[in-house]
Amino acid sequence: MHDVYLRIEPRLFGLVNRVFDTVAADPDLPIDEGIIEDAHEALQDANNNAVPGLPIVINVIQSTLDAISCCFEVGGEGAADISDDEYEASHALLTVNRQDPSSECRSRG
């Protein structure tokens, strides 16, 4: 599998990271724990290597990006503290490289 590099503005990265953490904490999440751990590590690395004022670069393999994307899709849509524009922009960035763009993420409940 090849690496995917995703550039995301800091404000949207913060939203994605927060939503991912919230959804990934669900013990019933239907995503492999190893992939969730890889996603946590990739987001932490991206945050640690961020240069103030510049987009944040997330370096992941496809399955990890898919997990981040699905968690954001499940937890971000309709969230009161995320505007429609913020959701759409983040969702578009995360799903543009989704391995199977027609697949839908399963909700948590």
Residues 55-85 pLDDT 10s: 999 999 988 998 999 899 889 888 888 999 9
- In the structure, what pLDDT confidence band is assigned to residue 95 with cuts at 50, 70 and 90? confident
More confident residue, 45 or 105: 45
Dihedral sign, Cα of residue 93, residue 45, residue 67, residue 99: positive
pLDDT value at 16 more than 90:
yes
pLDDT value at 17 more than 70:
yes
HEC secondary structure over the chain: CCEEEEEECHHHHHHHHHHHHHHHCCCCCCCCHHHHHHHHHHHHHHHHCCCCCCCEEEEEEHHHHHHHHHHHHHHHCCCCCCCHHHHHHHHHHHHCCCCCCCCCCCCCC
In sequence order, the β-bridge partners of residue 57 are 7
In sequence order, the β-bridge partners of residue 30 are none
Give the pTM: 0.84
